[in-house]
Amino acid sequence: MQPVWDEIEQTLVKLYSLPHNQPELRAKGTTPQAQARKKLDEVRSGLASVAPETFTGPRLFLRVLGPANRAYSGEWWFDASLLDTLEASFSRLYFSAADKKRAVRDMLRELLAISTEWNSITEVWALELPAGQSVRGYVGPGTPQKLFASLPLSAAANRMLVGKARQVFFPVKNPLWIKQYQSLGF
């Protein structure tokens, strides 16, 4: 498994070494290598296991985000079939439109293990990989995370989110392939 982690780290160092990333790194007082290690720690904490995979379009990946999250430069995505499955499951039950959105949002939070402090999940964005185009990603099941990241599990209402949904970490992708998909706001 170590060669995959080494590959991810090398890819990240190359990315952070690009000229357009230098001003931000200087402002933070860090280096491409240190920033790559920080991001690698994030990936290690988010995926239970990891495997490289090259995806060729047409493919559709989704990303959930709130006002504080990034759409175009966000690295964490999941296959659109997860949302399709959830929406199909809830279509058999009577829900108001707002209740259905809330249920889908809550299930996405649970399966993707997204802490409320990281993401309020009000929108879904799509990465539409065009036919014949390829992109390399790193896939694996998400690890459990705390519902409220900054609180201990013993705090009232805090618990572990299940995770385990297949997630894809894309260090690089074409931002022109990304567009808003649907709203989960109320």
Confidence of residue 186 (pLDDT cuts 50, 70, 90): low
Q: Going by C-beta distance under 8 Å and a sequence separation of 6 or more, which residues neighbour residue 138?
A: 4, 8, 43, 47, 50, 51, 52, 53, 168, 169, 171
Task: List Cβ neighbours of 7 (8 Å cut-off, separation of 6 or more).
Answer: 52
- pLDDT surpasses 70 at 1: no
How far apart CA 97 and CA 151 sit, in angstroms, is 32
Output the average pLDDT for the chain.
94
Q: Are 66 and 123 in contact (CB under 8 A)?
A: yes
Q: Structure pTM?
A: 0.92
pLDDT at residue 80, as a whole number: 97
Q: What is the pLDDT of residue 94?
A: 87
| 86-95, 145-154, 172-181: range with lowest mean pLDDT | 86-95
